[in-house]
Structure 1
Amino acid sequence: MNKTTQKRISEIKQDGYNLDFGNVFNHAFENYKKIALYGGLIIFVFFVLLSILGFGIVMAMFGAPAVLDFLKPENLKLEEMALPTLLIITGISALTSSLFSPFTAGLIKMAYCAERDEEFHVSTMFEFYKAPYFKELFIATFLVSMTSSIISTIINFAQIPALGFIVTVTVTLFTILMIPLIIFGNLKAVEAIETSILLVSKQPLMLLGLIVIASIGVMVGLIGCCIGLFFTLPFMYSLYYAIYSEIVGFENESEIEFQERI
């Protein structure tokens, strides 16, 4: 943890922080306008290439008949799956999320660069696939994803989907600052999770409101054959950046340290 972040977190532990809904939202929206097109194109291309690669690997491993049979609607019902199968799917989902967490970090870094009118490129999306960031991002995301997914899977298996949804939303809410704390504050995985929980717990309803409004805005992208979703999705990463910026903030010292680490 760099000294600036450590000092700010200590202050928040003692005194909390003030957060204005309108200021954070406007901050995120102004930043989003700078990254919407470029970020949307990157996400779209990445999604298409990843889908082709992933589907090709699955088809090669299990064969087309087995894959098509598994994808039948009746086989995708949670109540029709055995618990071990659900846990295996949960593990694969957590592993996948962990492998792509540096890409998410790259999108948040893009928002950082955009606000400072610094150039960002495709390489910005992938610069956290290197030490020491990749290990910390992978571990943190894997721990959170596995915890959330296992609890939600067991609850859904018990046919209480509403409770499973609440668990997922709660875990997502309290860990929204985890990735920014790792890439900007230089925190370790477990430390970033704990600190994110601490920071969010000071203003949970305010932050939940921001996420809900942002999610509704992102869903607007479903209009127009869903392609627009790729161009509204960057708003969520811009919001994560804006929240971190408003709560923890950046000072000259921390910005210099961050650039030197990159």
Structure 2
Amino acid sequence: MNQTQERLHDIEKNGYQIDFANVFNHAFENYKKIALYAGLVLFIFTFLFVILIGTSLVSVIGITAMTRELTPEKLKIENLSESNFLFVGSLSLIVSCLFSPFQAAFLKMAHCGDRDEEFHISDLFSYYKIPYLKEIIISSFLISTISFVQGTLLSYVHLELLGKVITYFISYITLLAIPLIIFGDLKAIEAIKHSILIIFKQPFVILGLIVVAFIGSLVGFIGCCIGVFFTLPFLYSMNYAIYSAIVGIDIQEIE
């Protein structure tokens, strides 16, 4: 049994204590170290992704058809045909799964910042390799599928707001699944299970930290929306700080 498994076993039996102020300060100090680099990465890759998707859609269906079909009204679930619904749902799941290892790299960036280590561009793709790739994709697929299915079903019965609340709740209780995979070397199902267990041990403190981080990340919308790319990394720093405070990081497991 490695250090992470021992800690998780202890948490399961005895719970844990977490200090709001200490975790917030840790997250903020970490954020200051990675904000500029992470913001530039997010901005550049988002820009390139939008260009790629836009170019692909124009080349496949044409700009006129794209403008006509990709309207908010036509993209509502109740207005989608069965084939379009399956296409949109499948595309969303694929994109979510393919980009989840990339998002996981920002947690590694936070870890490098915490240890004052250099983070290289190549590290952004460090989790697109076995064994991390398989477990991250399985975890993302399961979480995204459950969220999508329940959201779709509730939307059909005109309970969209409840569907969104449940989607946010699922994201919240699985918050630590990816850190448990990349830092704790857990399998996808184990990581999801332990993430839920950990969150339910101290739900209100962790929720408070996430809400504060979310509000902080939205500050970037003030004045110039580009700023959000540089405030969004605060969420990754908070995720890292919460995991570090509760589970801790065994350096030997991730090197």
Identify the TM-score tier after normalising by the shorter chain: over 0.9
Could you tell me how far apart the structure 2 residues matched to 1:205 and 1:89 are?
A: 35
Structure 1 residue 88: Cα displacement: 3.4
The answer on 1:109 being equivalent to 2:108 is: yes
Instruction: Name the SS for the 1:191 alignment partner.
Output: helix
Question: Which of 232, 252, 255 is residue 256 of structure 1 equivalent to?
Answer: 252
Structure 1 residue 111: Cα displacement: 0.3
* Equivalent residue runs for 1:60-209 within 5 Å: 60-82=59-81, 85-209=84-208
Which contiguous aligned blocks of 4+ residues in structure 1 show a shift greater than 4 angstroms?
none
Query: Is residue 83–residue 157 contact of structure 1 (8 Å, CA) maintained in 2?
Result: no
Gaps of 5+ in 1: none
User: Which stretch of the first structure deviates more once superposed, 66-75 or 182-191?
Assistant: 66-75
Instruction: Name the SS for the 1:18 alignment partner.
Output: coil
Aligned pair in 2 of structure 1 residues 143, 17: CA closer, same or farther (>3 Å)?
same
CA deviations over 1:212-240 (Å, ceiling 9, x no partner): 11111111111133100100010000011
Structure 1 residue 91: Cα displacement: 2.4
Q: What amino acid is aligned across from residue 47 of structure 2 in structure 1?
A: V
Could you tell me how far apart the structure 1 residues matched to 2:90 and 2:153 are?
A: 13
- In the superposition, the TM-score normalised over structure 2's length comes to 0.95
Aligned to 2:54: 55
Structure 1 residue 118: Cα displacement: 0.6
Could you tell me how far apart the structure 1 residues matched to 2:72 and 2:88 are?
A: 16
Structure 1 residue 209: Cα displacement: 1.4
Gaps of 5+ in 2: none
Query: Is residue 94–residue 142 contact of structure 1 (8 Å, CA) maintained in 2?
Result: yes
Instruction: Name the SS for the 1:129 alignment partner.
Output: coil
Instruction: Name the SS for the 1:75 alignment partner.
Output: coil
Query: Is residue 91–residue 146 contact of structure 1 (8 Å, CA) maintained in 2?
Result: no
Q: What amino acid is aligned across from residue 132 of structure 1 in structure 2?
A: P
Q: What amino acid is aligned across from residue 220 of structure 1 in structure 2?
A: V
Query: Is residue 102–residue 134 contact of structure 1 (8 Å, CA) maintained in 2?
Result: yes
Structure 1 residue 84: Cα displacement: 5.6
Could you tell me how far apart the structure 1 residues matched to 2:4 and 2:97 are?
A: 24
- In the superposition, the TM-score normalised over structure 1's length comes to 0.93
Query: Is residue 90–residue 150 contact of structure 1 (8 Å, CA) maintained in 2?
Result: no
Q: What amino acid is aligned across from residue 244 of structure 1 in structure 2?
A: Y
Identical counterparts, % of pairs: 51
Structure 1 residue 158: Cα displacement: 1.8
Structure 1 residue 87: Cα displacement: 4.4
Question: Could you say what the CA RMSD is over the residues aligned between the two structures, in angstroms?
Answer: 1.4
Give aligned pairs, total: 255
Aligned to 2:10: 11
Q: What amino acid is aligned across from residue 246 of structure 1 in structure 2?
A: A
Could you tell me how far apart the structure 2 residues matched to 1:169 and 1:84 are?
A: 27
User: Which stretch of the first structure deviates more once superposed, 157-166 or 144-153?
Assistant: 157-166
Structure 1 residue 128: Cα displacement: 0.7
